[in-house]
Amino acid sequence: MQQISSNKTLISVVGPTAIGKTSLAIALANYYNTEIISCDSRQFFKEMKIGTAVPSNEELSQAKHHFIQNISIQDKYSVGDFERDGLSFLDNFFKQHDNCIMVGGSGLYEKAITVGFDSFPDVDPSVREKLNSELEEFGIEKLQQELYQVDPNYYQEVDIQNKQRVIRALEIYRGSGFPFSHFRNQDLNKRPFNIIKIGLELPREEMYDRINRRVDIMLDEGLLDEAKKLFPLKDLNALQTVGYRELFDYFDHKIDLNFAIEEIKKNTRRFAKRQMTWFKKDEAVNWFSPNDVEKIIEFLNDKMTY
């Protein structure tokens, strides 16, 4: 990728789900007369609109968004693919613009753009085959226990219900003898643009209340019907996602609807807690309340180099 002069700035807006990242990103995009990249790994998928809280049509009309519902759940799309595509987009975008906004709660995908994708060793395919066999025979719990024992750091960060992530981490460990987290602390390529990170936070009870209300709104908007249409594809990796997994259990007659809804709220709150754990470890993040829009703009203007 060609060198870009240092007066180009990517503003990365991070924080837990339902905190108000979209509203802030739109306000910043309008203030700086620029556009928005989504680094939400589930909002990429066309079929998952309600359950991933894709910006509304009204919000999308207020600022141009990229990497929103641009692929299918049946497409294979990795964090490495996003790093390549996102950097390519910025390479072109910064030829015409000084600033760009990136927003999302997927920490690994945000890191892929702002820091770089970690370099992992090649592992014999038989290792993954064996892990998939163990998953089928013993279930995800046994693999979760192994991950906790061999890589407690990554265990605390990853969605342990995401089978593919758990298998990937164990694949690296078994194939190399080093924990997955070992390969995520390497020196990576410096980005040829400035990066300013803005984090949004609220007191826990207020954040949890927002999450509960967000789930109720999703249900009012038709989440149940959306999940029902996707139910035949429930084993796809993209659908191993809070809000869908619980409703799939309802459709499978494993739980009733009220319990499924409460599970969605509980699991979303847990997910938000993991998101905060991830982003709080990043010392580059500057923390604000979602209502501090004027303070955030003042802070950004002080930081920017023109």
At residue 305, the pLDDT reads 56
The CATH number covering residue 17 comes to 3.40.50.300
Query: Is 50 exceeded by the pLDDT of residue 2?
Result: no
20 assigned ligand-binding residue = yes
104 annotated ligand-binding residue: no
Mean of pLDDT values over 111-127: 82
pLDDT in tens, 211-228: 999 999 999 999 999 999
Number of domains in the chain: 2
Torsions phi, psi for 235 (to 5 deg): -85, -5
243 is in an annotated binding site: no
In terms of domains, do 59 and 101 share one?
Answer: yes
Q: Give the domain range for residue 217.
A: 9-117+190-303
16 annotated among ligand-binding-site residues = yes
Residues 243 and 287 in one domain: yes
pLDDT digits (tens, 9 = 90+) for 12-61: 999 999 999 999 999 999 999 999 999 999 999 999 999 999 999 999 99
Question: Is 18 marked as a binding-site residue?
Answer: yes
> Residue 66: helix, strand or coil by DSSP?
strand
Domain boundary among 158, 184, 210: 184
The pTM score is 0.77
Question: Binding site annotation covers 68?
Answer: no
229-270 pLDDT, tens digit each = 999 999 998 999 999 999 999 999 999 999 999 999 999 999
Cα distance between residue 280 and residue 236, in whole Å:
31
Asked whether residue 3 is assigned to any structural domain, the reply reads: no
Arithmetic mean of pLDDT, 140-160: 92
* 22 annotated ligand-binding residue: yes
Does 163 lie in the same domain as 212? no
Cα(157)–Cα(161) distance, integer angstroms: 12
Please report the pLDDT score of residue 72 as a whole number: 95
> Is there a contact between 121 and 175 (Cβ–Cβ < 8 Å)?
yes
* Whether residue 6 has pLDDT greater than 80: no
